[in-house]
A = this chain, B = another copy of it.
Amino acid sequence: MANKTIEDYLKAIYQVDVDQDGAGTTELAERLGIAPASVTGMLKKLAAQDLVTYTRYQGVGLTNAGRAIALDVLRRHRLAERYLADVLGLPWDRVHDEAEEWEHVLSDDVAARMDAALGWPSTDPHGEPIPSARGDVPPLADTPLARLRPRHTARVARVSSEDAEFLRYLGSMGIYPHVALTVLTIAPFGGPLTIEVSGQCHAIGQGVAERIFVVDISPLPAAEEPA
């Protein structure tokens, strides 16, 4: 298996070009907390090992070998998070930092045993899908809460953040995966949304609503909304 540094690079590259197409040096550098110059050097090294396709000034992409490792790391990371949350009772805002280390340390066998002990979960505590041991990632079928229309009710599918404070904020409103919520109003010009979560109303910013992904479960209307 690759070493910790390489695993973190490949995972970061994967994640950057999942949520914005194309991974730039600076973006990677920020995500990894490393100077851009250092990233350039490492990308050359990864390219030499055929884990990445890299052309100067053009950005990086994963090769199949690189993607396989990235997904494997992601799998371990999310399994570890699930494990820490479900078995050891760690709150969801603390599992990420721990898993960031565990992901480099779990053997295949241990990961498989954890998977089984958990009943082969499909997502981590934040709702992110856990890649299979074969490297399959179930396609996502969710939309940002920010795109939901007023009066629609949805179930939280996942929360796209690793920021502990942010997660605690959501937790304080009772927002977790599987929880149902209803959009009451959306202020114009990027203004806040008011939502109802388990009987309580809250106003949240657009930025927050962009990071909460939901699945609409509103009863189908008799006809489309009138135009």
The interface of chain A, by Cβ under 8 A from chain B, is 84, 87-90, 94, 98, 101-102, 104-105, 107, 109-110, 113-114, 117
* Cβ–Cβ < 8 Å partners of A109 in chain B: 90, 94
| Chain B residues near A98 (CB-CB < 8 A) | 107, 110
* A101 (CB) vs chain B CBs: closest residue: B105
Cβ-defined contact, A87 with B90, below 8 A: no
Contact of A113 among B90, B107, B117 (CB under 8 A): B90
A94 to B113, CA, bound (A): 13
Q: Which of B87, B104, B105 is A87 in contact with, Cβ under 8 Å?
A: B87
- Cβ contact of A88, chosen from B101, B104, B105, B113, cutoff 8 A: B113
Residue from A88, A98, A102, A107 having most chain B Cβ neighbours under 10 A: A88
| C-alpha gap A87/B90 in the complex (Å) | 17
Contacts of A114 in B (CB 8 A): 88
Besides A94-B109, A104-B105, 16 other A-B contacts (C-beta < 8 A): A84-B110, A87-B87, A87-B117, A88-B110, A88-B113, A88-B114, A88-B117, A89-B113, A90-B109, A90-B110, A90-B113, A98-B107, A98-B110, A101-B105, A102-B105, A105-B105
Bound complex: CA of A105 vs CA of B99, how far in Å? 9
A107: chain B residues within 8 A (beta carbon): 98
Among residues of B, the one whose C-beta sits closest to the C-beta of A103 is B105
Q: In the complex the two chains form, what is the Cα distance from A88 to B118 in whole Å?
A: 11
- Top 4 A-B pairs, shortest CB-CB distance: A101-B105, A88-B113, A105-B105, A98-B110
User: Shortest Cβ distance from A4 into chain B, in angstroms?
Assistant: 10
A89 contact set on B, CB distance < 8 A: 113
In the bound complex, residues from chain B placing their C-beta under 8 Å from that of A117 are 87-88
A84 surroundings in chain B (CB, below 8 A): 110
With the chains together, A90 CA to B90 CA distance in Å?
23
In Å, the complex CA distance between A66 and B110 comes to: 31
